[in-house]
Structure 1
């Protein structure tokens, strides 16, 4: 019997099912970095319900604001990750193409645990 080849994860993992796919399927991300990677992958795959569900309730935008903006996400580099109790930061650079033009997003994201799960609170952009 031929074994099915693994599908690469958008965040850079070798196998989507073992990487971000398990979080998209309902498993809780154990760290803020794992949640950030899974959110990146959700953007790449158009899983906007997941993005909404993992956004902190105090900063979550209206559902109508979560939509496909035509970006094709092509790479992620995590630069730093720090957890301090129920708060964390993750600095990353995400690359995409919008209308054929290369873009990069450098963000320092803040995360909080809410009801025992990591959630995205907000982010700042150090290059602005």
Structure 2
């Protein structure tokens, strides 16, 4: 998103001449997003407006040590962790997280967590 905003900012003068439909097609963004971006470029210097502000977000459910332990568990077959399966599936990983670490993850969050540890 930051790249698109910076592209939009670089074309700031030219985009003011485009219709909403043309802006949407050119940048692949919604009209609302384009208006917000243009407003940011009017309010802030270009180099500041081109990037999103840092937001802390929610803290992870597993701390670094728990993530390491989780990754170690996944290196072993599920049978070693007491499960009757040959390989891990998303539902089995959800169950593992619940039983071993007392945390609940959605399917999407499990996929995100797995991509971080690979």
Larger radius of gyration: 2
Higher fraction of helix: 2
> Could you tell me the TM-score, scaled by structure 1's length?
0.20
